[in-house]
């Protein structure tokens, strides 16, 4: 539905005319998702400058019956951040304050702060933020909380939920809940940060959070390992998973994706030939780590066909680029179906082999791109060469995941893209509990309708 003029005037009175955007050209960047698969209506965008303004906006929307799509950096990949049904977009990007508390090793951070800025703020006291992802320059703290983003450091520091000490949010009821004292020992009932993490804007709008900061490892080393098969690569990943300390990231790629990145970037691999599968490992570079890791290296030596190691920052970045550039390289091929799934460790290699077989059996022109956060069993299945609107692709992959005992969302969330398949992972009783929580915190049903719960 369109946002009524009366409501727009009320919104202008709250945030100022300049922060209610209606020009179709200006709102275009807010209404289409990063992949180009989800194209919303040219809805208005409101840009609040404080939690109090967010609360007033939710009040106006409740009264007018206007549905709301909260938005951070609009880097989400499951169609949850754009207005597909004429909703009002509430952009949090004007909320940009970061306060680092060195004594507590924590930070109080506004929802609109990009992850790269939070990382830089943490670095000013010699610390880091536990979540890192290739979209770090655009993805905001609020968006990463709402999606419970994972990224490349989950094996070391956990997902976004694990970083949260407290949150401030405007619930769908219009109430402001704020718990930002930063007490890590605070066992006083329901843990709202955990509930809001992964809620994808369906319960309320996160405006601030209190996050823990982490001690970064010493100067890291990055190794790109080449294998003859996905099975060999996954056997090596299992060894790294059991490594004693210091392993920060273990990522995997296959030949087609790496070749795509190389041709897009006009670079070559640091190897004489190309291989079926690759694993990228980052580990702290000090002796206490390198020494115990030598056992892992010995255990996988018979599997590894070639290796490139980088210890200085530019060469580390060059090795990471083979992995992090996958997303943009695939988008250049065509609008992708992006399925971000998790498999039990033992089922990972067979799944990676089976997915292309099943998809080609259905449609030979499907191009299947596989990569992911191997340490966590998180596989990104991207499919181009097929109609972006044909949900058969999603159905085939997600059913295969469920058959293998996996999760249909490892880190990106359910969004609108996967809402109809939530039942593959959640029982009717669980979904009923989700709906009861939603009804309590968003009784008018205005918070991101259609996302998560179909």
Task: By CB under 6 A, name the binding residues for ligand MLT.
Answer: 77, 134, 326-327, 338, 340, 380
Radius of gyration of the chain (CA): 22
| Strands of the 277-284 sheet, one edge to the other | 306-310, 220-227, 277-284, 247-254, 367-373, 378-384, 337-342
Q: Is 115 exposed, middle or buried (0-12, 13-18, 19+ CB in 10 A)?
A: buried
Strand segments (E) across 297-400: 306-310, 337-342, 367-373, 378-384
Indicate the pairing of strand 337-342 with strand 367-373.
Answer: unpaired
Q: How would you classify residue 356: left for phi > 0, otherwise alpha for psi between -120 and 50, otherwise beta?
A: alpha
* HSE-CB for 409 with a 13 A CA cutoff: 26
Residue closer to ligand MLT by CB (options 68, 398) is 398
Residue closer to ligand MLT by CB (options 20, 339) is 339
Q: Which does 130 bind (CB under 5 to 8 A by kind): ligand MLT, ligand FAD, none?
A: none
Residue closer to ligand FAD by CB (options 242, 435) is 435
Q: Please measure the distance between the N-terminal and C-terminal CA atoms of the chain and give it in whole angstroms.
A: 18
Look at residues 260, 253, 257, 255 and name the one whose alpha carbon lies nearest to residue 274.
Answer: 255
Minimum separation from the CB atom of position 150 to ligand MLT (A):
8
Look at residues 39, 141, 50, 114 and name the one whose alpha carbon lies nearest to residue 81.
Answer: 39
Q: Which does 146 bind (CB under 5 to 8 A by kind): ligand MLT, ligand FAD, none?
A: ligand FAD
Q: Which does 338 bind (CB under 5 to 8 A by kind): ligand FAD, ligand MLT, none?
A: ligand MLT
Q: Which does 40 bind (CB under 5 to 8 A by kind): ligand FAD, ligand MLT, none?
A: none
Minimum separation from the CB atom of position 397 to ligand FAD (A):
18
Minimum separation from the CB atom of position 423 to ligand MLT (A):
23
Minimum separation from the CB atom of position 140 to ligand MLT (A):
16
- The alpha carbon of residue 200 and the mean position of all alpha carbons in its chain are separated, in whole angstroms, by 11
Q: Which does 74 bind (CB under 5 to 8 A by kind): ligand FAD, ligand MLT, none?
A: ligand FAD
Residue closer to ligand FAD by CB (options 150, 257) is 150
Helix (H, G, I), strand (E, B) or coil at 5: helix
Minimum separation from the CB atom of position 39 to ligand FAD (A):
15
Residue closer to ligand FAD by CB (options 232, 251) is 251
Q: Which does 201 bind (CB under 5 to 8 A by kind): ligand MLT, ligand FAD, none?
A: ligand FAD
Minimum separation from the CB atom of position 326 to ligand MLT (A):
6
C-alpha to C-alpha distance for 136 and 150, rounded to whole angstroms: 12
Q: Which does 380 bind (CB under 5 to 8 A by kind): ligand MLT, ligand FAD, none?
A: ligand MLT
The residue ranges that bind ligand FAD (CB under 6 A) are 34, 69-77, 80-81, 92, 111, 133-135, 138-140, 142-144, 146-147, 149-151, 200-201, 205-206, 327, 411-412, 448, 451
- The alpha carbon of residue 349 and the mean position of all alpha carbons in its chain are separated, in whole angstroms, by 23
Residue closer to ligand FAD by CB (options 40, 80) is 80
Listed in sequence order, the residues at least 6 apart from 335 whose beta carbon sits closer than 8 Å to its beta carbon are 35, 36, 37, 384, 388
Q: Which does 131 bind (CB under 5 to 8 A by kind): ligand MLT, ligand FAD, none?
A: none
């Amino acid at each position: 539905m369109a946002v009524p003029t009366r409501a727009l005037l009320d919104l202008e009175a709250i945030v100022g005319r300049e922060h209610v955007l209606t020009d179709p050209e200006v709102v275009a960047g807010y209404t289409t998702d990063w992949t180009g698969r989800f194209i919303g209506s040219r809805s208005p965008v409101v840009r609040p400058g404080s939690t109090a303004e967010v609360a007033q906006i939710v009040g106006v929307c409740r009264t007018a019956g206007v549905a709301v799509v909260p938005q951070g950096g609009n880097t989400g990949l499951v169609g949850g951040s754009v207005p597909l049904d004429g909703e009002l977009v509430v952009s949090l990007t004007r909320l940009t304050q970061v306060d680092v508390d060195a004594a507590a090793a924590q930070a109080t951070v506004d929802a609109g702060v990009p992850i790269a800025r939070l990382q830089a703020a943490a670095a000013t006291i010699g610390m880091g933020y536990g979540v890192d992802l290739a979209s770090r320059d655009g993805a905001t703290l609020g968006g990463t909380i709402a999606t419970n983003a994972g990224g490349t450091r989950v094996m070391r520091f956990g997902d976004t939920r694990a970083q949260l000490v407290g949150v401030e949010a405007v619930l769908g009821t219009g109430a402001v809940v704020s718990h930002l004292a930063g007490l890590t020992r605070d066992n006083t009932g329901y843990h709202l940060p955990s509930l809001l993490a992964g809620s994808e804007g369906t319960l309320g709008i996160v405006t601030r959070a209190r996050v823990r900061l982490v001690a970064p490892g010493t100067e890291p080393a990055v190794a790109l390992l080449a294998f003859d098969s996905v099975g060999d690569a996954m056997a090596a990943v299992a060894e790294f998973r059991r490594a004693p300390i210091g392993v920060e990231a273990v990522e995997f790629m296959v030949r087609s994706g790496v070749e795509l990145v190389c041709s897009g970037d006009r670079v070559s691999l640091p190897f004489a030939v190309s291989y079926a599968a690759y694993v990228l490992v980052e580990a702290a570079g000090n002796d206490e780590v390198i020494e115990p890791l030598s056992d892992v290296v010995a255990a996988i030596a018979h599997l590894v066909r070639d290796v490139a190691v980088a210890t200085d920052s530019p060469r580390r970045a060059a090795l990471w680029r083979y992995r992090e550039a996958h997303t943009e390289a695939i988008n250049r091929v065509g609008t992708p179906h992006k399925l971000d799934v998790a498999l039990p460790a033992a089922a990972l290699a067979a799944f990676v082999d089976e997915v292309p077989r099943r998809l080609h059996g259905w449609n030979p022109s499907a191009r299947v791109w596989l990569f992911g956060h191997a340490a966590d069993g998180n596989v990104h299945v991207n499919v181009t060469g097929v109609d972006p609107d044909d949900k058969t692709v999603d159905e085939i992959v997600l059913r295969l995941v469920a058959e293998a005992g996996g999760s249909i969302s490892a880190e990106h969330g359910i969004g609108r893209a996967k809402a109809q398949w939530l039942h593959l992972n959640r029982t009717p009783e669980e979904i009923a509990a989700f709906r009861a929580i939603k009804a309590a915190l968003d009784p008018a049903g205005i918070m991101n309708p259609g996302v998560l719960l179909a």
